[in-house]
């Protein structure tokens, strides 16, 4: 039986997450200096991956059991870029993202303390890497495309138990897809959203 001391201990040590969250991921927005100018490093995911093959992303992945989001961001970046963890300096957190599929993506910002030309990524996970000057992203906003998500009533739900249920209307939810174009690379979707959120932090007073 729980008592107030046990409840206090559990709540004090609980890491909050969205209700009904199915999976948690963590990514790193990697800053790297090239010829005296700051860039953000991106990955082109390997074509052989089961999820989102050949899409542009940040280093990152699922948070292992018992692992903090920060630890996951460092581990995944180290594994994907094949650099030592001592070459990754976390400087803080950016805004995190909750996907419609009930996935949470925690976002960290870090400095890659390695010569860009010496980074040879893990070919099992990364097709290639590229960078975008931070100045370019500060000066160019993403293109935004609205899409509609239709919400329908399902059969079997006990609507009769809900007061005034008949007045609930079918509705459309509007989502947005964001994109940045740089050279031959299209940064889009959640990676673009996290990029834009980070840039907004930098622009804030």
Quick check: is 47 in a domain?
yes
In a domain, 179, yes or no: yes
Residue 122, domain member (yes or no) = yes
Q: Is residue 164 part of a domain?
A: yes
What's the CATH number where 191 sits?
A: 3.90.79.10
Lowest mean pLDDT among 8-22, 102-116, 151-165: 151-165
Q: Kindly tell me if the per-residue pLDDT of 29 is higher than 90.
A: yes
Q: Is residue 7 in some structural domain?
A: no
Structural domain includes residue 82: yes
Nearest to 199 by CA among 120, 138, 116, 121: 138
Residue pLDDT, tens place only, 38-80 = 999 999 999 999 888 999 999 999 999 889 999 999 999 999 9
Euclidean distance between CA atoms 112 and 81, whole angstroms: 10
Q: Is residue 11 part of a domain?
A: no
Structural domain containing residue 100: 19-203
52 within some domain? yes
| Pairing mode, strands 103-112 and 143-151 | unpaired
- The structural domain count of the chain equals 1
Residues 6+ apart with CB under 8 A from 32: 38, 39, 40, 41, 111, 112, 114, 116, 131
**pLDDT exceeds 70 at position 172:** no
What does the chain come to in residues? 205
% of the chain exceeding 90 in pLDDT: 68
């Amino acid at each position: 039986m729980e008592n107030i001391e046990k409840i206090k201990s559990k709540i004090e040590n609980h890491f909050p997450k969205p209700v009904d969250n199915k999976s948690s991921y963590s990514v790193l927005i990697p800053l790297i200096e090239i010829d005296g100018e700051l860039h953000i490093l991106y990955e082109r995911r390997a074509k052989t991956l089961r999820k989102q093959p050949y899409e542009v992303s940040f280093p990152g992945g699922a948070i292992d059991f018992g692992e903090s989001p920060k630890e996951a961001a460092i581990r995944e970046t180290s594994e994907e870029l094949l650099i030592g963890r001592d070459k990754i300096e976390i400087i803080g957190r950016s805004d995190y993202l909750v996907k419609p599929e009930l996935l949470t993506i925690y976002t960290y910002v870090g400095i890659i303390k390695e010569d860009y030309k010496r980074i040879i990524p893990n070919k099992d996970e990364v097709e290639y890497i590229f960078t975008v000057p931070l100045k370019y992203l500060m000066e160019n906003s993403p293109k935004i495309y609205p899409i509609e998500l239709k919400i329908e009533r399902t059969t079997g739900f006990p609507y009769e138990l809900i007061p005034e249920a008949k007045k609930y209307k079918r509705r459309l939810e509007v989502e947005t897809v964001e994109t940045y174009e740089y050279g031959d690379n299209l940064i889009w979707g959640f990676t673009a959203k996290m990029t834009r959120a980070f840039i907004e932090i930098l622009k804030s007073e």
